[in-house]
Amino acid sequence: MSSSVPNIWYVAHYAGGPGIGRHSRGWYLARTWVKHGARATVIAANRHHMLDASQPSGPQQVEGVDYHFLPAPAYSTNGLMRVLNMFAFTAAFWASQRQLISLHGRPDVIIASSPHPFSFIATHRLARLLGARSIFEVRDLWPASITEIMNVSNRHPMIRLTAAVERFGYFHADAVVSLLPRTEEYMRSRGLTGDRWHYIPNGIVRDEPSDRPPGSPIFALIDEWRSKGLCIVSYTGALGVPNNVDRLIDAMALLKTRNPSVRALIVGRGDVEEQLKAMVASLGLSEQVRFFGQMPKSVARAILKHVDIGFIGLKPSPVFRFGISPNKIFDYMVSGLPIVSAIEAGNDIVAEAGCGISVPGAGPSEVAQALDRLACMTPAERDVLGSKGKCFVESKHDYELLGRTYLKITGWG
C-alpha cells in the first residue's frame, strides 16, 4: 500500500459520466471516494455504445473526477467489431500500465467492472505485480446473460472463454462486488470462497440539478397535457428489445377507450425505436403516445418532476432470478414518482418500497389495469406512494452511503 491515502482505479469499459454518456456509476463512486480523502481515476474505452460521442484517448477531467480513456475500435452492432472492442480495451489497459501509473499514481486498489469480465485478467495481473487489492465488480452475469437472453449455446467458443474468465475472477479476486442481490450462491458454485461476496447496487444522488430548457417541445407538450387535466406516464431510458416498451404501448391501446385521460411520454433511443414508433402509428395512438429522443440527465430529471407515473418493464428471462438493479427505477424513486413495474425478477424493488404497483410477468391488460389504477388516484394519493419510494431509495441507495461501503471493502474507510 503506497500511502495512508488510497489510490483507486475504477476500470469500466463502458463508463460514462456527466456530459460523456450513460452509465455514470464510476463517476458517482469516484466523486464520493475523493470526497472522503481517496484518489480515484475512472478508466474507460474511448469508443463504446454508451458514450454520447467518442472521446480523445488519454486523461481528462469530467466535472472534477479524473478519467483516462483508452483507445478501442469503433463498432455499430453486436458483432465481431464489438468483440474486438472488448479485447482491444483489455490489451490497451495492459499496454498503458506505465503511462497510467505515471499520470495517475501507483494504485492501491484496482476495480474491474463488468459486464464483460475480460478486463479482469489484466487488472488482476497488474494488481498482483503492484501489491494492490484486486476487486471484481459484476454488473451482469456473463455468460449467463448471453446464453439465457440471447439463446447462445454454452458450447460456443466465446461463451466457454467468457465462463472461464468469470470463474477466474470469482476464484482469484480479493473481493467480488455484485450489483445484483441474489448472486452469491451462483458465484460460489463457480469458484467464490470465503467472505469475499459483497452487494453494492446502483444508486442515486440527492438533489441533483434539473434543467428545463426554455422553449423545449417536450415541456410545452407536458404543460398542454397538464392544462387539460391528463395523467402522464413516462418511460425514460433505452429502447431495446429487453426493455419491453411495446408492453406499455399495448397497454396504452387498451386505455384509449378504458381511460382516455392517460398519456405516455417515451424518452430515449435504441435499436427498436423505429419499430415502436411504427407500432404506435398502426394502433392509432399518435395522440396518446409521444416520442422524444435521449435527453441530458438534467433534462430527464426535470421531465420526471412534471409527470405522474413512471413505467419500467423487462422481457422475462431466467437470468433475472438473480435480481435486478436498474437505474431507471431509482431515478423514478428519487423523483417521487409512483411506479408501474412489469418485471419478473428475484427481487421486487417497487413492492419492497411500497411505491407503486408490480405486475410481474404481466400482459398488456394487467399493465393497463395498473396504470388505470394509479391514474384514477388523486394527486395526493400518488404523492404518498412516490414519497415512500423517495424515502426508500435515499436511505438504501444513496451513492454517499454506497461509496463509503465500497471504501470499507477496499481496506480503507
pLDDT tens digits, residue range 234-271? 999 999 999 999 999 999 999 999 999 999 999 999 99
- Is residue 389 within 8 A of residue 312, CB to CB? The reply is no
Task: Check if the beta carbon of residue 95 is closer than 8 Å to that of residue 63.
Answer: no
Q: Is the pLDDT of residue 2 over 70?
A: no
69-102: pLDDT as tens digits: 999 999 988 889 999 999 999 999 999 999 999 9
Query: Across all residues in the chain, what is the average pLDDT?
Result: 95
Q: How far apart are CA 308 and CA 336, in angstroms?
A: 9
pLDDT at residue 266 in the model = 99
Q: Which three cell numbers stand for residue 44?
A: 474507460
Report the C-alpha gap between 231 and 253 in whole angstroms: 15
Strand, coil or helix: 112: strand
Which triple of cell numbers denotes residue 250?
399495448
Domain edges within the chain: 7-203+398-410, 217-396
Q: What percent of the chain has pLDDT over 70?
A: 99
Q: What is the distance of C-alpha 288 from the center of its chain?
A: 28
- The confidence score (pLDDT) of residue 3 equals 56
**CB-based contacts of 112, cutoff 8 Å, min separation 6:** 11, 119, 120, 123, 124, 134, 135, 136, 137, 169
The pLDDT of 337-348, averaged and rounded, is 97
**Is residue 362's pLDDT more than 90?**
no
Question: For residue 136, what are the contacts with CB-CB under 8 A and spacing of at least 6?
Answer: 111, 112, 114, 117, 120, 124, 169, 170, 173, 175, 176, 177
Q: How confident is the model at residue 413 (pLDDT cuts 50, 70, 90)?
A: low
**7-203+398-410 with 217-396: one CATH topology?**
yes
Question: What is the CATH code of the structural domain delimited by 217-396?
Answer: 3.40.50.2000
CA dist 116 and 28 (Å) reads 21
* Superfamily name with CATH number, domain 7-203+398-410: Glycogen Phosphorylase B; (3.40.50.2000)
DSSP characters over 249-276: HHHHHHHHHH-TTEEEEEE---TTHHHH
pLDDT at 199: 98
pLDDT of residue 1: 45
How many CB atoms within 10 Å of residue 35? Answer: 13
Q: Which three cell numbers stand for residue 283?
A: 394502433
With H, G, I as helix, E, B as strand and everything else as coil, classify residue 301: helix
**Running DSSP on this structure, what letter comes out for residue 305?**
T
Cα angle 95-100-103, degrees, rounded to a multiple of 5? 145
